[in-house]
Amino acid sequence: MLVDVDICGLKVGDEHPVRLMGVINLSKESFYKGSVVSNDSVHEVARRMTDAGATIIDIGARSTWPLAEPVISEAEELNRMLPALEALDDNVDALVSVDTVYASVAQEALKHGADIINDVSGFTSNPQMLDVMKEYECPAVVMASEKLPGDPIGMDAIMRSLATIIDRADAWGINTDKLILDPAIGRWVPEKDPIYDFETIDQFESLKVFGKPLLAAISRKSCIDAVLHRPAAERLYGSLAATAIAVHKGAHIIRTHDIPETKDVVEVAMAMRKRQSVVRNGDFEVEITDITHPDDAVYLMKSMDVTGTGARVMKNKTVSKVIRVNNITTTEALIIKQEMLARGGDAALERDAVSHEAEKTDVLIIGTLLQFEKLVSKLSYQARNLPLIAEMIAEALENDMDVEQRYKREL
């Protein structure tokens, strides 16, 4: 689904420039001390950011870093926040976002000129936040969360969490077109290994099935440290590398501490991102939708009101794979081709193998995940080396879906 939304007058989506959200931290507890700004310099810092290309300024008065100490009260958060909002009110050419999980802070911030609420708990920390969103009809960034901010581990859990947040907002009567999705990159809970952030960034395009603006908050996060082993102040270039990937994979908004450097990276990455193929004629629309994981298809079909049972039955038909099997006998290759053809797939092998002139051959097997499942089951009971080949095909497919197999390596 092509994303094209208006956020308080700012166009965001697949056909618009990637928007930059500049981070202004009022909290000395922040994990990145270089981002902390005093109230006296908020306007100056915001102006520099907008001059460099920021179209959204995100103000945080309470550190969302899980290890931040001390934990401040809502009253203290407001005491830090309100002077900053007053300094920016009608004085900066950008939308103003407030990073808070508390409904009372969000409500006061909206009264004092904030445009967007950035809730890293995805409405889970303070349920009254839903009432504020409904009353003010404002846009909201919602981060994947279940019980604690950012606690989903792995892309499957992130997708489930965001789907739940959208459903909950819809049930509350909130216009879900005003939601911006954040997949919670960073070590929000101790048990979250960096490989799960690698998976999220690499599979960022999976989030497209929700049809919402996507925000990537990568700047100087712990997953960069896991690779470079450097403190937050020295993670700029690593952050830019990850940002380029997220933009290429479909991010619409980048939240960053470093606007000028990020702007250049985003523009280059955006230029290399392919446009989605959409054809319109009157009331008709045809678009090519790329599904990379079968579970993504379930969320897409759910948005079309396909039954849950129907979506589960069809999901493995939505992803195709091409698997190469090397150095097998011609007879084995021909059996594989015959069995794949019988299931609606296909297989390619060298010309001499078709005529039995070659004793050994490689074979390229083409089919959906469902067709491969059926092929593996059938080959498991056949003669020669076909049961072993079936086992190897199944293992290759399993590895392709396993986060540790895909991303775990010595760092």
Report, as residue numbers or ranges, the catalytic residues.
221, 255
Token digits of residue 314 = 């069809």
CB 27 within 8 A of CB 63: yes
CA 347 to mean position of chain CA atoms: 34
Dist. CA 394–CA 397, nearest whole Å = 5
Sheet holding 346-349, edge to edge: 320-329, 360-368, 346-349
Dist. CA 298–CA 304, nearest whole Å = 10
Place of tokens 């092998």: 349
Count of helix runs (H) and strand runs (E) in the chain = 16, 15
Give the residue among 66, 137, 70, 67 at the shortest CA–CA distance from 101: 66
Give the residue among 5, 8, 4, 39 at the shortest CA–CA distance from 25: 39
Residues 6+ apart with CB under 8 A from 281: none
The residue count for the chain: 411
Token digits of residue 25 = 């931290």
Dist. CA 166–CA 295, nearest whole Å = 17
Give me the DSSP letters along 136-165: HT--EEEE-BSSSBT---SHHHHHHHHHHH
Task: Outline where DSSP puts E strands in 124-281.
Answer: 140-143, 179-182, 215-217, 253-256, 278-281
Give the residue among 94, 164, 178, 93 at the shortest CA–CA distance from 134: 178
Q: What residue spans of 277-350 are helical by DSSP H? A: 294-303, 308-314, 330-342
Radius of gyration of the chain (CA): 25
Dist. CA 123–CA 139, nearest whole Å = 13
**b/e code 217-248 from CB counts within 10 Å (16+ = b):** bbbbbbbbbbeeeeebeebbebbbebbbbbbb
